[in-house]
Amino acid sequence: MNIIPIFANKQLKKNMSYLLKPKSYKPLLDLKQTELGIKQIKEFFQMNLSSELRLRRVTAPLFVLKGTGINDDLNGIERAVTFPIKDLGDMQAEVVHSLAKWKRVTLADYNIEPGYGIYTDMNAIRADEELGNFHSLYVDQWDWERVITAKDRNINFLKEIVNRIYAAMIRTEYMVYEMYPQIKPCLPNELHYIHAEELRQLYPNMEPKEREHAITEKYKAVFIIGIGCKLSDGKKHDGRAPDYDDYTSPGLNDLPGLNGDLLLWDEVLQRSIELSSMGIRVNKEVLQLQLKQEGEERRLQLYFHKRLMNDTLPFSIGGGIGQSRLCMYYLRKAHIGEIQASIWPEEMRNECKQYNIYLI
C-alpha cells in the first residue's frame, strides 16, 4: 500500500504536521461497528491490564495547580493549557499533559504495597501537538503506576512488566478477531528488545523516527530502551522529562536506561506506531543527576521533588498506554480521528474524505 505524506496547508507545513494517505484504504468497519469495537477493546484491555499488573482503578484529575512540579513536562518544551481559579485568588491551574508524577504521589497517599498499583483514565489537552494520523489535541490513555522495591530497579524487572503488558495486547487482538473475523491477528508472540544506542549503530544514517520504522517493520513489535539518555553521537533518541523516568542507570547490555517505548508495526500506514511509554522511575540520586544534566536543579524546590528527596514517595514503575491509538491499531484505522472526536484543520478533513478516511 503506497503512503503519500501531504501537508494540509502552509501553516501545517511550517509546523511539520502532515497527513499520511494510504491510496487503497477502505475501512473494514462501519461507524456502528467501530463504536462497538472501541467499547469492547477498552473494557477488555483495561481488565487484562489490571489483572496482569495487579492494579486498582482510581479517579484522576483533569488539571493540577501550576508550580507544584506534579504536571508532566513531556519533552520540556510543550506548553500546558492554563486558566485562573477565581476562588483561589486567580491562582493558575494547568490541564495535565499526563499523570506520571501525580500517580507516584497517589501511591504514597493510598499506602499501596509493593507488587500492587493503580491505573486511571487520563484525559489531557496538548495544544502544541503536531496534528496528523497519530496525534491529536486530545489525549486519552491508561496511566498506571505500581510500587516496587529497590531490588526491582533493574532491566530484567522492566522487561518482565513490559512482557505482561504485551501479553494483554495479544489477548485483546484475539478478542477483536473473534468479534470481527475480517481483522486478522498479526502480532508476533514475542516482543523484540533493543537499546536506542544499538538501534543507532544498526541504522547510523537514519534519523530516530526512521530507525523506529525500520526496526519495527522487521520485528513487528519492538521495545526501545533508553529514551532520554544521550547516545554515542551526543544526541538523544527522543526527549524525556528528567524527573520521572530513570534513563541514566545501567540497563540493557549495561547501556543507560531503565525505560522505553513500545512500538507496533501499522500495516495500514506502513510505519511504526508508538502505543506506550513507560519505565522505572527515578530515585533521589538519579533525580539529582538527571536534573543537573538538564540544568533544571531549581525543580528540587517544587512539591513533588521535595517529597521524593524526603523519602516520602515509594520506588515505582509506570507508564501510559494510548487508548485511541490502541483502538486505531486493532480496528485497522488510518487516522486517530476515526476513533476520537477532536479538532482538525478543514483542509485535513477534506483531504481525508478523498481517501475514505472519515474523521469523527
Q: Is the pLDDT reported for residue 1 higher than 50?
A: no
Hey, what amino acid is at 57? R
Residue 14 has pLDDT above 50, yes or no: no
Domain ranges in the chain are 3-354
The mean pLDDT of 194-205, rounded to a whole number, is 98
Q: Give pLDDT, residue 69.
A: 80
Q: What is the pLDDT of residue 10?
A: 46
On the question of pLDDT at 18 being above 70, the answer is: yes
Q: What pLDDT score does 20 carry? A: 93
Q: Is 80 exceeded by the pLDDT of residue 226? A: yes
Coil, helix or strand at residue 19: strand
Amino acid at 222: V
For range 58-76, the mean pLDDT: 81
Q: Verify whether residue 30 is a known catalytic residue.
A: no
Query: Element (H or E) spanning 263, and its range?
Result: strand 259-266
Neighbours of 207 (CB within 10 A): 10
**Catalytic one among 46, 94, 126, 290?**
126
Rounded mean pLDDT, 241-251 = 95
* Residue in 261, 266, 338, 351 annotated catalytic: 261
User: 316 an active-site residue?
Assistant: no
Per-residue pLDDT for 274 more than 70? yes
Q: Among the listed ranges 17-26, 140-149, 325-334, which one has the minimum average pLDDT value?
A: 17-26
The pLDDT of residue 78 is: 73
Range 151-158 average pLDDT? 98
Cβ partners under 8 Å of residue 181, min gap 6: none
126 is catalytic: yes
Catalytic residue among 40, 50, 141, 276: 141
Class of residue 149 by CB neighbours under 10 A (exposed 0-12, middle 13-18, buried 19+)? exposed
Helices (H), ranges, the chain: 10-14, 31-53, 100-109, 155-179, 196-202, 208-219, 284-293, 303-309, 323-330, 346-354
For residue 3, what pLDDT band results from cuts at 50, 70 and 90?
low
pTM, two decimals, is: 0.91
CB 18 within 8 A of CB 5: yes
Mean pLDDT of 61-65: 89
| Cα separation, 219 vs 215, whole angstroms | 6
Q: Which entry of 72, 197, 243, 246 is annotated as an active-site residue?
A: 72
Question: Which of 277, 316, 340, 342 is the catalytic position?
Answer: 277
Give the mean pLDDT of 107-119.
Answer: 97
Known catalytic residue at 141: yes
The whole-chain average pLDDT of the chain stands at: 92
Residue 76 has pLDDT above 80, yes or no: no
Task: Please say if the pLDDT value at position 67 is more than 90.
Answer: no
pLDDT tier for residue 6 given thresholds of 50, 70 and 90: very low
* The pLDDT value given to residue 86: 92
Cα 212 from chain centroid (whole Å): 15
Q: Average pLDDT for residues 332-344, to the nearest whole number?
A: 95
Given a contact cutoff of 8 angstroms between Cβ atoms, the answer to whether 152 and 279 are in contact is no
Over 60: is that where the pLDDT of 212 sits?
yes
Q: Specify the CATH class of 3-354 in words.
A: alpha beta
Residue 9 has pLDDT above 80, yes or no: no
Q: Is 298 helix (H, G, I), strand (E, B) or coil?
A: helix
pLDDT at 79: 81
Active site residue 72: yes
Average pLDDT over residues 271-300: 97
3-state secondary structure of 245: strand
d(CA 319, CA 287): 17
Give the pLDDT confidence score for residue 77 in this predicted structure: 64
- Asked about 51 being catalytic, the answer comes back as no
Give the mean pLDDT of 276-292: 97
- DSSP calls for 115-175: T-EEEEEEEEE-TT---SSS--SEEEEEEEEEE--GGG-SHHHHHHHHHHHHHHHHHHHHH
The pLDDT of residue 258 is 98
Residue with cell 539529582: 288
Looking at per-residue pLDDT, the higher value among 21 and 316 belongs to: 316
Q: Which of 198, 238, 274, 296 is catalytic?
A: 274
Average pLDDT over residues 113-139: 92
The pLDDT of residue 81: 85
